[in-house]
Structure 1
């Protein structure tokens, strides 16, 4: 596999700062950036939780950033919603999304404007849909997604491994040769080497698409 040169931290810091400034939904002037060994830490404050998510996504888009650390604080204005009001709004949102997130499958708790989701669903995309459903509610400071995925009795590890390996090959030709898949029940473990953090994330996302997957342990490393 082609070896890649890791970008120096000070170059990454400049690139992340520029990407934040390039992102129109983020007020980059209120966000600080430090980079250590490829890990970008964002600090400072933003006005809304969606802005915080956009800032973290912007940093992760920069080539060479291995992962991000979140130290951003959501700073609300003079009107801070009551936790009971946020909980009520969250349940209204789920009542409208019963096609994607089965009704009564998710429980909501709110404390200090942080929403905690619990319960169980059949697919990873439903768990993510539940998180996205409440992430845009005005006045929240964070979302803790503790929803679990119900293990499926129909999962055959050998079949799941074949299907997942084929999916990886469809998405990026090099994956089939450089990413190994191991399946234990609904647990998928990925190992091997790829060329970029984007490829590493893509491999993990592909694993989550497979039916019956309840957890993904991404041990894929970057060649370098």
Structure 2
């Protein structure tokens, strides 16, 4: 992945950019690209700070003067509890007056769209965890945990909630699972991205491979 000199690897402003919601997303993508040997300098990452800000940045980049637009823009968002269909409707709404033919639902293997008019960027969309189910980045990551560990952690979290020791929102169950697992490792509490490169998390899931294949399909072809 490319990055500007003397700048954060998560604030790329070049011609091929993947917009993400936050810092964790950025470092997870970098780790997966390293482990799956995605071509260096293929694209850069931009941490937008939230899902709303990511959508706003996508809109701003598409509406910039033609000479200032990226050649390729990817957007990585959580489907969240409303699900991928609802998230997809909001994306379609943003692009109603733009020269793109969006499918009715997101493509399971990741969506890639070329514009029907010149000077508009290629677009790509991935809705975590897998373009098909509700959830977030951590649901994607939790596939990298051993299943027996997930079952044990879920039991522990249930006891913690029943006792009042755990106060996280039910929507954040996936976050609680992965961070509990990382807290049990040697050394405890490493960030998710570092845990992927260190193979504490096993990034060889089918979904992880589909994700990096989508990155390749989106960014590899010359524009």
TM > 0.5 fold call? no
- Who wins on radius of gyration, i.e. which is larger? 1
TM-score grouping bracket, smaller chain normalisation: under 0.3
Relative contact order, CA 8 A, sep 6+: which one is greater? 2
Relative to the length of structure 2, the TM-score reads: 0.24
